[in-house]
Chain A
Amino acid sequence: MRALLHQQWTCYKLQLKVLSTSAFEGFLAVLFPLMFASAALLIYRVQDDPESMQYAGLGAAIMGMWTAQGVVAASMLSRERWAGTLELVVASPAGLGRVLVPATLAMSTIGLYCVVATIAWERWVFDLRLEISSWPLFVLSVLLTALTLALVGYFIAVTTTRYRYSGTLGAALEYPGWILCGFLIPVASLPAVLQPLSWAIPTTWGMAAIRSSADGGSPWGDLAACAATGAVYAVLAAWLGSRLVESARRHATLALT
């Protein structure tokens, strides 16, 4: 157990270092959602209603987490493959999950940074002060959202790796996540066919929990749903991951460039 934690911690630190030295992850991962958040806030601002500004401000703050995870996770294994390190990673005695989870946790950390940056931006540019009734519950909800999003990222990384242009695919996931997870659009107002998709993403529940803890409600039900859906992604990803490694060994697709 100690060895496992040590390995996870070391991998996490190194992956965070890799991410924060790259121009895209370091700069664009913050700027892109920040600009979209600004565009959304400019729309909400037209009506000048404090209640809807609080709604939009909370959602805009969490939006960046999705970008830091979805877009980057999808291309992670591909980047390893281009760099020629994927074979080395798979050949190491640690399981694929033990390598991928710290990496996606590192992405979630960048996502948390986005949350803080956006909240600061909202104060500074839009003069919008978020009302948070319970800070401990709010922070807990944000952290659990980040953690479960890392598990979604693990799932995305495993499923997209056979796709040649997975970076593109990751970028294409950005808007659907923003539409579905209830950041700026209430899930109930989406077309009925899309709503089940929203419920299948832990981030939707996480966002609901964040809103409840900010507005003085009880977040526990949403947090439980968030944790449960997150766990499903982890199990699915672990299973798919082992299948992936098997199939790659059979079809020699690891070194594919």
Chain B
Amino acid sequence: MTSLRIFVIGGLMSYRALFGWLKPGILIPTLVFTPICQILLFAYIGRSAGVGDDEFYVIGNALNYAAIPCLFAMSFTIEGERQGGTLGIVLTTPARRLPLFLGRALPVVVNGWAVAMIGVVGGALLLDVHIPGGAWPSIVLAVVVTSASCTGLGLAMGAVTLRVRQGSTIANVVFCVLLVFSGVNVAQSDLPGWMAAVGDWLPLTHGIQAARLLADGSGLGAVDGLLLRETGIGLLYTVAGLALLRFFEDESRRSASLDRV
């Protein structure tokens, strides 16, 4: 019971407390205006280069931009504890660590999902892309899965920032890696082989492929393998993140490594 409350209520409160972008003055430029611009940028580049169609870029970039809240918000909710001096207090509580940290991921997934959907809908409207009405429910699902797996990567990154700091810099770098390697703007088959191989182990790659197939009219049955793969990769990063958090906490008791601010 306590753990469930920590997961749901505690998670939501940590997100509110530590994610500093929840003001209209930051939220709208960052999570509404900019993703639409990124979609337009690459759609126009695609047109000039004569590669791909608008739908390809709308889906790829909308889902890519979900990584911004997933990476930044998730790592802020962990790194912020340290900056605010609250980490020590949180770590002296008897709360179970699994719901404590996983609970923070829940609002982040919702945030990432919302940003990606704004991108898909906004981009489709602006560029006059037609996506069949029946495809939307399964696209919504594919976006949920993709946001969740990106948040898994965000959790792993957040754990790293407890020791490395510079969370924003790392998040920006990871975002760029996703942009180039996970088939956002170039089909994975058109990427150099080594890049495609890296993309196979990143979140986003399979989710984007699934969402594109769905928008082209495929049924859920045709993409279940891709979505499963996306989920699996997200889980992999989540488990790695939780293990790192556990390791850092134990190590901090031994060497006071989390005390130095």
Task: Indicate if A touches B (C-beta under 8 A).
Answer: yes
Question: Which residues of A line the B interface, CB within 8 A?
Answer: 23-24, 27-28, 31-32, 35-36, 38-40, 42-44, 46-47, 52, 56, 163-165, 168-169, 171-172, 174-176, 178-179, 184-186, 189-190
Report if A43-B46 is in contact (Cβ < 8 Å); known contacts: A23-B169, A175-B38: yes
Give the contacting residue for A32; candidates B33, B38, B51, B176; CB below 8 A.
Answer: B176
Residue among A165, A179, A184 making CB contact with B40, cutoff 8 Å: A179
The contact of B49 among A36, A56, A176, by CB within 8 Å, is A56
Digitize B24-53: 1 where CB-to-A-CB distance is under 8 Å, 0 elsewhere.
Answer: 011001100110011011101111111110
Binds A, one of B182-190, B207-215, B221-229, B241-249: B182-190
6 A–B contact pairs at CB < 8 A? A42-B180, A43-B52, A46-B186, A168-B30, A172-B30, A186-B48
Chain A proximity of B113: nearest CB distance (Å):
21
Give 13 new A-B contacts, CB below 8 A, not counting A27-B169, A39-B42: A24-B168, A28-B169, A35-B176, A40-B185, A42-B185, A43-B42, A43-B45, A168-B26, A169-B29, A172-B29, A175-B40, A186-B48, A189-B44
B49 touches A47 (CB 8 A): yes
Cα distance, A42 to B176, chains bound together (Å): 14
Q: Which residues in B have their C-beta under 8 angstroms from that of A32? A: 172, 176
Interface contact B25-A168, CB-CB below 8 Å: yes
B191 at the interface (CB under 8 A from A): yes
CB-defined contacts of B253 to chain A, threshold 8 Å: none
A163 CB contacts on chain B under 8 angstroms: 25
CA of A129 to CA of B172 in the docked complex: distance in angstroms?
A: 29
Closest chain A residue, CB of each to CB of B30: A168
CA–CA, A171 and B172, complex, Å: 12
Bound state CA distance, A169 and B173, in angstroms? 20
In the bound complex, do residue B51 and residue A176 qualify as a contact, i.e. CB atoms below 8 Å apart?
no
Answer yes or no: B166 CB below 8 A from chain A CBs: yes
Which residue numbers of B lie inside 8 Å of A, CB to CB?
Answer: 23, 25-26, 29-30, 33-34, 37-38, 40-42, 44-52, 166, 168-169, 172-173, 176-177, 179-180, 184-186, 190-191
Q: What total of A-B pairs shows CB separation below 8 Å?
A: 99
Q: A23-B166, A27-B169, A165-B23 are in contact. Are A179 and B51 (CB under 8 A)?
A: no
Majority secondary structure, B binding face: helix
Q: Return the contact of A165 from the options B25, B179, B186 (Cβ within 8 A).
A: B25
Given contacts A44-B51, A178-B41, A189-B47, contact A36 B169 (CB under 8 A): no
For the complex, give the distance between the alpha carbons of A52 and B51 in Å.
12
A contact residues around B176 at 8 Å (CB): 31-32, 35-36
Contact A185 B48 (CB under 8 A): yes
A24–B184 CB distance below 8 A: no
The complex places the Cα of A10 from the Cα of B51 at a distance, in Å, of 48
Q: Which chain B residues border A52 with CB–CB below 8 Å?
A: 48-49
Contact between A39 and B185 (Cβ–Cβ < 8 Å)? yes
Q: Which of B47, B49, B185, B186 has the most CB of A within 10 A?
A: B49
How near does chain B come to A21, taking the closest CB pair, in angstroms? 14
Q: In the complex the two chains form, what is the Cα distance from A190 to B127 in whole Å?
A: 12
* A184 with B48: CB separation less than 8 A: yes
**Residue numbers in A under 8 Å from B166 (CB-CB):** 23
Smallest CB separation, A74 vs chain B (Å): 11
Measured CB to CB, the closest approach of chain A to B183, in angstroms, equals 10
Is A43 in contact with B25, judged by CB distance below 8 angstroms?
A: no
CB–CB A172/B179 < 8 A: no
B-side contacts of A172, CB under 8 Å = 29-30, 33-34, 37
**Chain B, residue nearest A172 (CB):** B29
Inter-chain CA distance A31–B38, complex, in Å, is 17
Closest-CB distance, A196 to chain B (whole angstroms): 17
